[in-house]
Structure 1
Amino acid sequence: MHNAYFDFAAPGNEPVMSFAPGSPERAALKKQLAAFKAQEMDIPMYIGGKEVRTGKTVDIRPPHEIKHKLGHFHQGEASHVTAAINAALAARQQWADTPWEQRAAVFLKAAELLATKYRAHTNAATMLGQSKNAFQAEIDSACELIDFLRFNVHYLTEIYRQQPASSPGVHNRLEYRPLEGFVLAVTPFNFSAIGGNLPTSAAMCGNVVVWKPANTQVYHASFFMKVLMEAGLPDGVINLVYADGPLIGDVCFTHPDFAGIHFTGSTGVFQTMWKTIGGNIAKYKTYPRIVGETGGKDFVMVHRSADADTVVTALARGAFEFQGQKCSAASRAYLPDNMADEIKSKLAATLKTMKMGTTEDFSNFINAVIDERSFDKIAKYIDNAKKDPAAEIVAGGHYDKSAGYFIEPTVIATTDPNYVTMCEEIFGPVLTVYTYDAEKYEETLELVDRTSTYALTGSIIAQDRYAIELATRKLVNAAGNFYINDKPTGAVVGQQPFGGARASGTNDKAGSQLNLYRWLSARTVKETLVPPTDYRYPFLQEA
């Protein structure tokens, strides 16, 4: 019987644990890291609730310790993608018909499991698989993922509560249906929380999902899939497959039941997907929803009134936490000439204090970049800067991949505001700074706005309120998440809904109601309580 209204109140954000020496969470995490390293995992795909192994395996190694094998995963073919679609469609009707409070309970239980029983596991898997230090793992794979699950339950409840007005004799209502078909979730390596949110936000709305994580995030993705299953997620609602991106596209984007894609990754891949979907539009039963977040060239604009130490801290954290592998990472900074030398000097000194090494050593602030391909790409940018007369390495610049993919936090100073590292997304621990004439602040704001095709995050650092107001207004389209006197990273679910426009994506704001609307299809129902029995209206009567 379903005869009650259920309410899921707004949650608070999950508290971030400190992992200070002597703390119980530190001891638990150290123990779990050792446990994961002591075993080699055989990781299957999950299709229709069943474990699927192909025998075609890919090794998983920590980016910071490439000689150590954590395990391997089984790579899928086109037949497995088709099987995942079929399993999703077979589960669709029963999942869509499941009352909301029953669907919500699955994701609330998953959040609780992560917050308690599996907190050390989710952090350890992210630390080893993606080379994040304990704090970066905690704010990502524990707190943010937990927040996505809990806040999305609350937000969806608020959406379901929204109903139209009814006139006398009429009852109107809105029904929020899932999309007609399956949703493809394609998730990146850099945030376990994104890996968990993209498939679950769609599934929460009653959709069924085919989930393809980045190969370099499979270690945590497979763990989270098992958490969802333990939380009671029915078979086939989310199907986890490991297959090449183009192969996934060939199967999913030609299927008549393809209903949407939830994507985080590169701009080029997303644009190719959009073009392919558009070319196949006549094949689909319904117009697919296309939701994507695709990266950034995120800026820090410094005004002459700024406090130098505030700037240095914002740049040190914003550019180099998680080795700069955040879509929101500060990668270009504009320094006024009245304080540029001081900032560069203090920043260089700060970077020398940052230890680099494995994630298991909690004293390391910097760890490894994700893989050899990324390492080689970043190293090439650094090498080119060393040879270019328009650039100067003012900090870092060294790298080594003999034991792991380690690149020093690197600061490039350029005399050219259109230098390549001021414009192109590098996705690594490289920050480029440009010194501008402090008297040309407004002109430089215009330069910031037009330099990059991206518009994800950015910040203004100033003590002059008029300068802050001017930057906020002039850079209105330059960033979907804009920060004042802070680094441009660290968006929190429920506080700073995340997403950008221009080449950075569709700005559908993960961690808000805006994103969930994309996975719903509303139906308006009008019921006339006492229907008319004569077609004639009063105006037709004679006086």
Structure 2
Amino acid sequence: MTTTAQLAAPITFADRPHVFIGGKWVESTGDDWFDVTDSWSEGVVARVRGATTDDVDAAVDAARKSFDEGAWAATPITERADVIDEMANRLAARLDELTKVGVAEVGVTVPVSAMTQEMTAGLFHAVAEEARNVTLVDERTRADGGISRVLKEPNGVVAVIIPWNGPIGTIAFKVAPALAAGCSVVLKTSPEAPLSPSIFADVVGELVDEGRIPEGVVSVLVADREVSEALVVDPRVDHITFTGSTAVGRRIMSLAGERVAKVSLELGGKSAAIVLDDADLNSVMQSLPMGGCMQSGQACIALTRVLVSEKRHDEVLAAYKAALEMLPFGDPWQETNFLGPLVSARQRDRVESYIEIAKSEGATVAYGGGRGGFDHGYFVEPTIVDNVTNDMRIAQEEVFGPVISIITYKDEDDAVAIANDSQYGLSGAVYSADADRAYEIAKRIRTGTVNVNGGVIDFTVPFGGYKQSGVGREGGPEGLEEFFETKTVHLS
């Protein structure tokens, strides 16, 4: 791992003194602000107005009114798809600004942030294409010879609650298909990363001013947990879609269950990568280290459990160390770096606490474990924890940092059992010289996505989790289906 360190004055961004309700920037009913802190310099780079429960009420009211009046839902879906495409174009035109915001908000490095923003525009376009291909009315012949029409209709008012680790991408996963389906949306963003959603709000505001989206259809609010719960429990909200921790997902599902609201959840992960004995380690190390340390481990799909046979343990550990040593680590504003700091001091302290817990339970730090020698920035070095057993907390709980657990298995059945011994089931990987053999093992892993001999990241195909990693799917036609209700109309 190579490091670079040279502190310069942080890039600052314009403050956001208003809240975005129904397509317009307006005054908040309160006076709460959130500071946006650059995770490299630790300096405040912008301030954003926080929403109140009254602001939430106004946003839901605008969404409910706009949906019930039906102008957006009645717009032909191909025209709605054109609007989604235009959102993509306008976000792409703001690539430089969004890239800088991503570095400041999340701590990802410039090249990673740029890649993420470029991917997001593609996701909007993919949603638009799915919308053009969907069949909204399907005529079917009944058993009695009559005709029934099966209709797809928009859910209604959708509350979209997104995390800090990928805000603009999550908007593409959730808001774009909800709008394509004809829903009205209240987007609640994280106080840690509110700037990129504000840029999205700017784009929506332009489209509202141009008459391409009716007023009331989209609101964007920054709020803490208490205010967010007001959105979840509001009976005027038909569907809640959330990305974040499993603990918060449970809370949302519990609250929504009291009124049987529709819920879709993309939650945590503790994904396992099974390295079979015939795997070529040079090929494995082309994708596995970044699969575990992407966004400095701040990714739900990170491959944080590496399962190796007892026979190849030492060889795999040495190769993983060598691979991490080659990853440039440090100032996220330097384009030569691939790994930067964590999002906040709180997140850094949380990750460090898990490393200490692992040591107290008998594991050993085989690589990293410190702050990389930096005296500023919320850094945790890429870290390998060895001698881990699957019952340890480091193996069972989501750390959300660049901490990799090495776990040994006896045979293939044992490897599959260890991979499945988790409350989570979001992602995974299998490495083998025999792709067919790896595929057969992939089918046995209880997780929503599995990579065979690679590190494919493509959210235009279905993505989501088993078990406590979530409910529902994002991406592809399945992601669009989440925002439709099915109605059957029998014709005599």
- What TM-score does the superposition give when structure 1 sets the normalisation length? 0.82
In 2: Cα distance, 1:403 partner to 1:195 partner: 31
Does the 8 A contact of 1:47 with 1:236 survive in 2?
A: yes
SS at match of 1:240: strand
The within-5 A match list for 1:445-484 is: 445-450=416-421, 452-465=422-435, 467-475=437-445, 478-484=446-452
Out of 85-94 and 227-236, give the one that drifted further.
227-236
In 2: Cα distance, 1:327 partner to 1:38 partner: 29
Letter in 1 for 2:254: K
Cα shift readout 1:291-329 (whole Å, capped 9, x = no counterpart): 011010001001110111222333211111210111100
In 2: Cα distance, 1:465 partner to 1:47 partner: 51
Q: 2:468 aligned with 1:503, yes or no?
A: yes
In 2: Cα distance, 1:66 partner to 1:427 partner: 20
Which residue of structure 1 lines up, in the alignment, with residue 5 of structure 2? none
Which residue of structure 1 lines up, in the alignment, with residue 279 of structure 2? 306
Q: 2:58 aligned with 1:91, yes or no?
A: no
Which residue of structure 2 lines up, in the alignment, with residue 19 of structure 1? none
The within-5 A match list for 1:212-251 is: 212-231=188-207, 232-249=212-229, 251=230
Which residue of structure 2 lines up, in the alignment, with residue 262 of structure 1? 241
Letter in 1 for 2:464: G
Cα shift readout 1:204-247 (whole Å, capped 9, x = no counterpart): 21111111011122011101111233244332211111122232
Gaps of 5+ in 1: 1-33, 282-286, 529-543
Which residue of structure 1 lines up, in the alignment, with residue 481 of structure 2? 517
SS at match of 2:321: helix
Which residue of structure 2 lines up, in the alignment, with residue 316 of structure 1? 289
In 1: Cα distance, 2:9 partner to 2:99 partner: 13
Q: 1:199 to 1:470 in 2, by over 3 A?
A: closer
Q: 2:109 aligned with 1:133, yes or no?
A: yes
Q: 1:35 to 1:224 in 2, by over 3 A?
A: farther
SS at match of 2:336: coil
SS at match of 1:472: helix
Q: 1:183 to 1:465 in 2, by over 3 A?
A: closer
In 2: Cα distance, 1:242 partner to 1:385 partner: 35
In 2: Cα distance, 1:198 partner to 1:474 partner: 29
In 2: Cα distance, 1:409 partner to 1:254 partner: 40
Does the 8 A contact of 1:75 with 1:243 survive in 2?
A: yes
Does the 8 A contact of 1:359 with 1:367 survive in 2?
A: yes
Letter in 1 for 2:292: A
Report how far residue 512 of structure 1 moved.
1.5
Which residue of structure 2 lines up, in the alignment, with residue 332 of structure 1? 305
Report how far residue 39 of structure 1 moved.
4.3
Q: 1:376 to 1:162 in 2, by over 3 A?
A: same
SS at match of 1:139: helix
Q: 1:46 to 1:379 in 2, by over 3 A?
A: same
What percent identity do the matched residue pairs reach? Answer: 24
The within-5 A match list for 1:200-215 is: 200-215=176-191
Cα shift readout 1:426-469 (whole Å, capped 9, x = no counterpart): 011000001233xx22223222212x110000111111356424
The within-5 A match list for 1:121-520 is: 121-143=97-119, 145-160=120-135, 163-165=138-140, 172-180=148-156, 182-191=157-166, 192-231=168-207, 232-249=212-229, 251-279=230-258, 281=259, 287-388=260-361, 390-399=362-371, 402-437=375-410, 440-450=411-421, 452-465=422-435, 467-475=437-445, 478-487=446-455, 490-494=456-460, 496-506=461-471, 508-520=472-484
Letter in 2 for 1:271: R
In 2: Cα distance, 1:436 partner to 1:179 partner: 46
State which of 94, 111, 121 in structure 1 corresponds to 2:88: 111
Q: 1:157 to 1:136 in 2, by over 3 A?
A: same
Letter in 2 for 1:109: E
Letter in 2 for 1:445: V
Gaps of 5+ in 2: 1-7
The within-5 A match list for 1:42-81 is: 42-54=16-28, 55-67=31-43, 69-81=44-56
Cα shift readout 1:399-439 (whole Å, capped 9, x = no counterpart): 277421111000000252322211111011000001233xx
SS at match of 1:248: helix
SS at match of 1:164: strand
Letter in 2 for 1:442: D
In 2: Cα distance, 1:169 partner to 1:415 partner: 63
Report how far residue 346 of structure 1 moved.
2.2
Q: 1:518 to 1:466 in 2, by over 3 A?
A: closer
SS at match of 1:105: helix
Report how far residue 523 of structure 1 moved.
3.2
In 1: Cα distance, 2:324 partner to 2:447 partner: 27
Letter in 2 for 1:113: R
Cα shift readout 1:443-496 (whole Å, capped 9, x = no counterpart): 23222212x110000111111356424412432xx2110111124xx52133x4
Of structures 1 and 2, the larger Rg is shown by 1
In 2: Cα distance, 1:346 partner to 1:521 partner: 50
In 1: Cα distance, 2:311 partner to 2:26 partner: 62
Report how far residue 194 of structure 1 moved.
0.7
Report how far residue 122 of structure 1 moved.
2.3
Q: 1:523 to 1:465 in 2, by over 3 A?
A: closer
- What TM-score does the superposition give when structure 2 sets the normalisation length? 0.90
Does the 8 A contact of 2:12 with 2:46 survive in 1?
A: no
